[in-house]
Chain A
Amino acid sequence: MASALINVPARARRGEIIEVKTLISHPMESGHRRSQLGALIPRDIIRLFVCTYNGTEVFRAELHPAIAANPFIVFSTVATESGTIAFHWTGDNGFSVAESVAITVG
């Protein structure tokens, strides 16, 4: 089971730009490597990462095999209101992980 690490400040001033750091454990098998027997290892990557802030999408990234294992994504967003910031990773072989963190804006 994949586990995700998320780093978001717990509280922020209204209108402040906050940095969001996410890390998820995933091999990101590129589909270009071969096993010791010479067979091609099938691709198994995370294809899409979406971040929503109180239900509104604020960031989205399409990942390709050139993203290193355990995708680490950093972006920023404006702290508009208190609520939850939700993250969703989807990928090959039915991979789907959702996480969310609470933020207090005052």
Chain B
Amino acid sequence: MKRRTSRRQFLLAAGGAAAGFGLASVLHVKPARATPAAMQEAIRKVVGPARVNTGKVKLDLPPLVENGNVVPLAVSVESPMTEADHVRAIHVFTEKNPLPDVVSCRLGPRAGRASVATRIRLTDTQTVVAICELSDGSFWSGSADVVVTLAACLEDG
């Protein structure tokens, strides 16, 4: 005997399907959001085959940026900055700017403290990544998410 789907059954099924779909899209979106290919490529160029660990690097950026033309950025790394253990370089990358590179700094034990600051441009709401190279050859990264209201590169400024 053929049973007709009741309205209640149909709604339940539809709701379940929608929930499943929603969950699937969230799961799908997450990895795609992480890092676009151009930035990964730029990072690879700097890092080479080495593994990039997460941590040690602190990226200071305002979470909400009114004007993408001038965004204060500060990067600091936990390091004693001695001859034996210091930060060799700090690189900053962006996900959605026309070019992923922002700045590459070289420092050494003479810096005393592993911290640099500058002002950057951001085209879009995106993730900014800082990578540091330690004297033992390891790489560490930190990132910050920024919401940008007025994009750089389009407007004057």
A-to-B contact residues, CB < 8 Å: 17-18, 30, 32-33, 53, 56, 58-69, 71-78, 80
Which residues of chain B have a CB within 8 Å of any CB of chain A?
Answer: 69-71, 74, 94, 97-99, 101-108, 110-113, 115-122, 152-154, 157
Known contacts A32-B98, A32-B153, A33-B153: A67-B119 contact under CB 8 Å? yes
> Contact partner of A75 among B71, B105, B119, CB < 8 A?
B105
**Is A59 a contact partner of B106 (Cβ separation < 8 A)?**
yes
CA distance A53 to B118 in the complex (A): 21
Quick one: given A76-B115, A78-B112, are A66 and B107 in contact (CB under 8 Å)?
no
Give the secondary structure class of A's interface: strand
Contact of A64 among B103, B108, B110 (CB under 8 A): B103
Q: In the complex the two chains form, what is the Cα distance from A66 to B118 in whole Å?
A: 11
Say whether A77 contacts B110, CB under 8 Å.
yes
Chain B residues whose CB sits within 8 angstroms of the CB of A18 once the complex forms: 112
Answer whether A74 and B117 are a contact pair too, CB < 8 Å, given A59-B106, A65-B98: yes
By a CB distance below 8 angstroms, the chain A residues around B108 are: 58
Q: Contact: B103 with A61, CB < 8 Å?
A: yes
Measured between C-beta atoms, what is the minimum distance from B30 to chain A in Å? 26
Cα A34 to Cα B153 in complex, Å, equals: 9
